[in-house]
Amino acid sequence: MARLAGAEIQDLRVEERNRAKEIIEDFMIAANGATALFIHGKKVPPLRCMVRSPKRWGRIVEVAAQHNSPLPSEPDSKALASFLAEQKAADALRFPDLSPQFDDPSFCQLL
């Protein structure tokens, strides 16, 4: 987790995992599953997100190439998710340093 003051990093620390965060994540997953089942049972069309190409896809491709994981030149959410999963598995300690570079709310995967 980084604390910024303007454009300068003031403090940087690894966010520790703990049981409380895991419980919250589990409840969020359960709520999503229950909502999906409810919507499906009511024959309501599923919710979808609007997908736009990330503004920095070129930079994302460059960073992935630096990690010997080429990404396609056109935005691909599945390829990006695969790359991030591989990087997290390979180096979970440094993964938080990498993942914020790809935090782009305009790029989400269709349900």
CA distance 64 to 49: 25
DSSP 49: -
Q: How confident is the model over 4-23, as pLDDT tens digits? A: 887 788 888 888 889 998 99
What is the pLDDT confidence band of residue 105, given thresholds at 50, 70 and 90?
very low
Which residue is listed with tokens 């359960």?
A: 30
The radius of gyration of the chain from alpha carbons, rounded to an integer in Å, stands at 17
Give the C-alpha separation, 28 to 35, whole Å: 10
Predicted local distance difference test score (pLDDT) of residue 111 = 31
What confidence score (pLDDT) does residue 50 get?
Answer: 58
Q: pLDDT at position 72, please? A: 94
Average pLDDT over residues 104-108: 46
Question: Quick one: tokens of 45?
Answer: 């069309």
CA dist 40 and 53 (Å) reads 29
The domain spans of the chain are 1-47, 49-111
Give residue 106's pLDDT. Answer: 45
Give the integer Cα–Cα distance in Å for 63 and 12: 21
**pLDDT digits 0-9 by tens, 42-84:** 887 766 665 667 778 888 899 899 989 999 999 888 888 888 8
